[in-house]
Amino acid sequence: MSGSAHSASPLLEVSGLTVSIRSKTGVVRPVDGVSFAISAGETFALLGESGCGKSMTALAIARLLPDAAKISSGRVLLCGQDLLALPEARMREVRGGRIGMIFQEPATSLNPVMTIGAQIGESLALHRGLRGKAARTEIQRQLEKVGIPAAASRLDDYPFQFSGGMKQRAMIAMALAGEPELLIADEPTTALDVTIQAQVLDLLARLQMERGMAMLLITHDLGVVARMAHHVGLLYAGELIETGSREAFFAAPLHPYAQRLFAALPDGAVRGRMLDALPGGVPSFDQNFIGCRFGARCHRASERCQTDAPNWHTVNGRGVRCHLYEQSAEIQLRQKAGKVAITENTPPSGGHVLEARDLSVHFPVKKGLFRRTAGWVRAVDGVSLNLAPGRTLALVGESGCGKTTVGRAILHLTPPTAGTVLFDGSLLRPRSRAAMLAMRRAVQMVFQDPFASLNPRLCIGDILEEGMVSLGIGNGMAARRRTVDELLERVGLSPDMRWRYPHEFSGGQRQRIAIARALAVSPRVLICDEPTSALDVSVQAQLLNLMCELQKERGLAYLFITHNLAVVRYMADEVAVMYLGRIVEQGPAAQVLETPAHPYTRMLLAAVPRVDAETDTSTAKPNIVADTPSPLAPPAGCYFHPRCQYATAVCKATFPALQELGSRHRVCCHLAGSA
């Protein structure tokens, strides 16, 4: 079996699993002979790029495949019971009960016309027999466990009232409500900020230990794998190509594909140099594979790789599918690939292309029969930011702190309550159609949820051309189509995909399309709202390289809204840290990230899972105190004081003033970085 050693009686055993889909060009196999096993209390991490078949493998195990797909061969055993032999009525009892599943996109998985509480309540009623008051109490407990602030008041909220990260947490609560023996987690922390991610991972690890629950973890985040997994399986184009223990995989990956994934990781150490991004993309399944499926992208490929499919080999107790290990060769340590230098961004010599001054966005809270305003949510409360040509400002903070609202308010997609926006030094007047049109031509936004931001009725070629047509960009249809083809190639997609619709792409591929659409109109400023959150490591490296190249060529200014601090270390020139609607620390990236002055910034940095072969990161516990207060009722004084281990009496009474620490480094903290 192509898997690492497990106990004699694994809880889940997958053998030779093959999924077939009949298409116009014939039969395609997005999952082709996959085998692995997971014991009770263990986590098996399935890694690979978007489109490799990871999610299809999970859907096959739960028998949730689309109508066009079927399991053509293989077995799936849960505690020795063949799930593929069960009638559908019996399988419904297994799903949500013995098997819990966290889907990749909570926005499309949650029912928009049912409250969050009602959706979790369905699982409790079906699998645990809880109804009424008992169910409501348990729903609140589940939401509190996954870090939903003011959970008691959020039970009757609808999905659209939750941020992206909160929707993901609600999905996790729903999956765990049935107390499953096996949890299939498909990118469970993709939309979460680092502190909530750390809490959720700790929660999953604790529940796993308490219940002996097995977990199939599908993720592109190597830090999450290092923190959570016991065993790792690397999937490429429907095949497992490497398996082994977490420790062995991170110490010395065997397959060239695994080695290149590590080389593509962004970090401050490689800032100013191009990441070692894999060329091309995952091959489509509508072809007859003859040689190695990775051969066309492999820097160590030989002629044999093009003609002969590699067999499965065992090397030091680990499995690998590669011709390099035909003679049981020694493990080859990960090699640092050469980096191509890029020019370091220099501080701006001229003015700012876009400025936000004391920007505020307050949302009314309506209550009662007559929907009177009972209060205000200060989503953004006096934020000032400057975007300069050729520079990147990263806006970081936890989910729900107002980062996305800042980006939307700058573009006036959400009307600001107060404050001003200056474009090229001139006050932007929303009532002036000409001024707004000029700004919209120059400033584009990449939204957090690519599926919701792409028109499902248009093929992606038309989606990319739409902005160019409306703004009069491009000399005719042929020129625009050439531009679209070039953009698709630069973001790692094939020009032939221009005729496909958004639903035909994976989450990571849709994010690439959203970025290509923003770039199509040649903007001067990009407001990027979590642009790499749904991307695997290799595609993330391609996009970061692309963004660095474009910034160097065109002098683009970036507002980079993200919770990925590794990307911040690599991309950002300056960092602004946001908490409950306010900037609490801002300054040059090197200073903020290396010598953080605010306790909140320190907490964010401590929560980042590390890819470290010498440390058992699964036991590391960041110092995260309590949960984020509700923005409906922020605490008095410093908003962060209930979670701050250094808080004093003055912190509880007075909000700190902005203090200059030198070299454009500013912080809102009574302790002024002395904590």
Distance CA 36, CA 493 (A): 30
Locate CATH 3.40.50.300 in the chain.
Answer: 354-454+519-668
Tell me: the pLDDT tens digits for 587-596? 999 999 999 9
The pLDDT value recorded for residue 615 is: 46
Distance CA 83, CA 75 (A): 8
Distance CA 395, CA 399 (A): 12
Distance CA 542, CA 498 (A): 19
The low-confidence residues of the chain, meaning pLDDT below 70, are 1-8, 164, 190-191, 327-350, 507-508, 534, 612-627, 673-675
Instruction: Report in angstroms the alpha-carbon separations of 674 from 588, 596, 647, 658, 667.
Output: 19, 10, 12, 15, 11
Q: Residue type for 616, please?
A: D
Name the CATH superfamily for 354-454+519-668: P-loop containing nucleotide triphosphate hydrolases (3.40.50.300)
Contacts for 90 with CB less than 8 Å, ≥ 6 apart: none
Residue 487 near residue 519, CB atoms below 8 Å: yes
Tell me: the pLDDT tens digits for 300-325? 899 999 999 999 999 988 999 999 99
Place of tokens 């991490």: 45
C-beta neighbour count of 626 within 10 angstroms: 10
Half-sphere exposure (Cβ direction) of 219: Cα atoms closer than 13 Å: 26
The pLDDT value recorded for residue 160 is: 87
Angle at 337 between CA 334 and CA 339, to 5 degrees: 150
Residue 12: which of 37, 43, 44 has the closest Cα?
37
The pLDDT value recorded for residue 455 is: 92
The pLDDT value recorded for residue 327 is: 65
The pLDDT value recorded for residue 8 is: 54
Residue 98: which of 150, 57, 62, 147 has the closest Cα?
62
Q: Left if phi > 0, otherwise alpha if psi is -120 to 50, otherwise beta: which for 224? A: alpha
The pLDDT value recorded for residue 511 is: 79
